[in-house]
Amino acid sequence: MLVNTRLNQNDTNSSVSLKTALLNPAAAYGGLYAPDSLPSLDERFFEEASGLSYSQIALKIIEKFKFDIDMSVFEEALKRYESFDNEPVEIKKIDENLHINELWHGPTRAFKDMALQPFGHILTSLAKEETKNYLIMCATSGDTGPATLETFSDANGIKVVCLYPKDGTSDVQRLQMTNASGKNLKVIGIEGNFDDAQRALKTLLNDEDFKASLAKLNLSLSAANSVNFGRILFQIIYHIYTCIKITGNKKPINIIVPSGNFGNALGAYYAKKMGANIAKIKIASNSNNILTQLFTTGVYDLRGKSLIKTISPAMDILISSNVERLLFDKFGPVRTKELMDSLATNKFYKLSDSELNSLKAEFEADFCTDDECENEIKKYANKGVLVDPHTATCFKLASKETLNVVTSTAHWVKFTPSMIKAIKNKETKDELKDMQELSKEFSSPIPEQILSLFSSEQIHKTICNQNEIKPTIIEWINK
């Protein structure tokens, strides 16, 4: 069962089913839903899983949770992986102590497909079962948006609104959204950054007037961001799979995650608690190094900080929502509410020494500047390996003594100008031409889904200020 991450002293934490949390992801006091306990995976599980496919392992893990949704729904949802390249996860050995876990072989070429493809089927099935129509909202720093639009495109009974920072994504990420052709999709570029987009999303999820307006239009409200636990569920699985496929879960592995909103790292934390043989979860940031500060000093401090645009835009985030679920799991709902209230009111919180030590037992953190990131891209290109600017932030954290798995979150083609600058030391004037040049040189085919973006029509052109988002959505639905 799932419970609220935030409580006042003397409150009782009532549990909700997965179905309820998926369809209504906003919890009381602005909190999130998180598991009150996790199932354990024993040695027999790992032995049986060693010869299974990704989807078979995923199903065995989901069964352990004993959710209120029929397993046949999950079985159908996992069939979405059949559209991926071979197995949905590809693990490449770089050297004796380093592997790269490629999670971007889905339709939008980002790791978000790993969760959003099956999640989309489940949410659509539940909406049909409830005989309700839903507005699904998402805010994106670049990858959640395309993956959400793809999974819900033309789904019956579902409308989707995607908010993205108009100047805060790569050109390919933007085209994946603005060219999305599903009749049930609305993409809105906002003035501001991802934190502004995420704040707008959370505000609308808790806006009773907005929900009342939707109800008059026969729509209920849900979200596709990782504020929805349905996303996190599927992010647990690939970390467990990695431990199975590399060592049979026999040896400890460091999992290195390029982190923005912290959902991917949280999935690794839950996987470790369930029995995956993970030594440290290493958090890689870009110059927006708020998580490095938290995990090294115990301080989360937004005072005087402004978002820095980097070459790894999906990580350009200062308010990492899923840290809240970690705080809840470590310190309970009352302390979590204290900390999150302080962040909202004072733009600051500080953990005690014992709380910080509890985090350090599981996590390490560091960050990578754009220059360091470009050097890593160049270094691995010289070895014949193309890594995108998000994956490149991870290598700095790899230790030489322990087995390390770098979590690769996006295909390089989504960030061609940054790749060209790092590898060729030149600026991109023709993105498609430069993409084709790298593709040929490194024998790395360009997916058709990406190529087609350069010849397709831009459909979504709406740009909004913060106060225009709500009326813009209502106007679109009324059309």
- CA dihedral for 93, 94, 100, 105, sign (positive or negative): negative
Q: How many residues does the chain have?
A: 479
The whole-number average pLDDT for the span 354-374 is 98
- Quick one: pLDDT at residue 132? 92
**Cα–chain-centroid distance for residue 39?**
22
- Quick one: pLDDT at residue 85? 87
Q: What is the rounded end-to-end Cα distance, in angstroms, of the chain? A: 39
- Quick one: pLDDT at residue 401? 81
CB 4 within 8 A of CB 31: yes
pLDDT in tens, 169-219: 999 999 999 999 999 999 999 999 999 999 999 999 999 999 999 999 999
CB 232 within 8 A of CB 266: yes
> Is residue 57 packed enough to be buried (19+ CB in 10 Å), middle (13-18) or exposed (0-12)?
buried
pLDDT in tens, 230-265: 999 999 999 999 999 999 999 999 999 999 999 999
Full set of structural domains in the chain with CATH: 91-109+230-449 (3.40.50.1100)
CB 19 within 8 A of CB 68: yes
CB 444 within 8 A of CB 294: no
Q: How far apart are alpha carbons 243 and 250 in whole angstroms?
A: 8
Percent of the chain whose pLDDT exceeds 70:
100
Give helix then strand counts, H and E, for the chain.
19, 15
- Quick one: pLDDT at residue 250? 97
Q: How far apart are alpha carbons 340 and 265 in whole angstroms?
A: 19
CB 83 within 8 A of CB 107: yes
Residue 82 structure tokens: 């059949």
pLDDT at 39 over 90: yes
> Is residue 237 packed enough to be buried (19+ CB in 10 Å), middle (13-18) or exposed (0-12)?
buried
Could you tell me which residues come within 8 angstroms of residue 203 by beta carbon, excluding any fewer than 6 positions away?
none
CB 300 within 8 A of CB 326: no
Q: How far apart are alpha carbons 117 and 230 in whole angstroms?
A: 11
Q: How far apart are alpha carbons 427 and 103 in whole angstroms?
A: 28
- Residue 65 vs residues 17, 18, 39, 69, 118: alpha-carbon distances, Å: 11, 10, 6, 10, 17
User: pLDDT band for position 398 (50/70/90)?
Assistant: very high
The whole-number average pLDDT for the span 282-306 is 97
pTM metric for this prediction? 0.95
CB 238 within 8 A of CB 271: no
The whole-number average pLDDT for the span 71-75 is 97
User: pLDDT band for position 280 (50/70/90)?
Assistant: very high
**Tokens 């691995």, located at residue:** 380
Q: How far apart are alpha carbons 3 and 37 in whole angstroms?
A: 10
User: pLDDT band for position 15 (50/70/90)?
Assistant: very high
pLDDT in tens, 400-443: 888 999 999 999 999 999 999 999 999 999 999 999 999 999 99
Residue 241 structure tokens: 């799979």
Q: Which amino acid is at 277?
A: N
SS3 state at 102: strand
User: pLDDT band for position 159 (50/70/90)?
Assistant: very high
The whole-number average pLDDT for the span 59-71 is 97
Mean pLDDT of the chain: 96
CB 437 within 8 A of CB 125: no
Count CA atoms within 13 Å of residue 366 on its CB side: 15
pLDDT in tens, 84-117: 987 899 999 999 999 999 999 999 999 999 999 9
CB 14 within 8 A of CB 27: no
- Quick one: pLDDT at residue 338? 98
Beta bridge partners of 102: 90, 408
pLDDT in tens, 324-342: 999 999 999 999 999 999 9
**Cα–chain-centroid distance for residue 342?**
25
pLDDT in tens, 432-468: 999 999 999 999 999 999 999 999 999 999 999 999 9
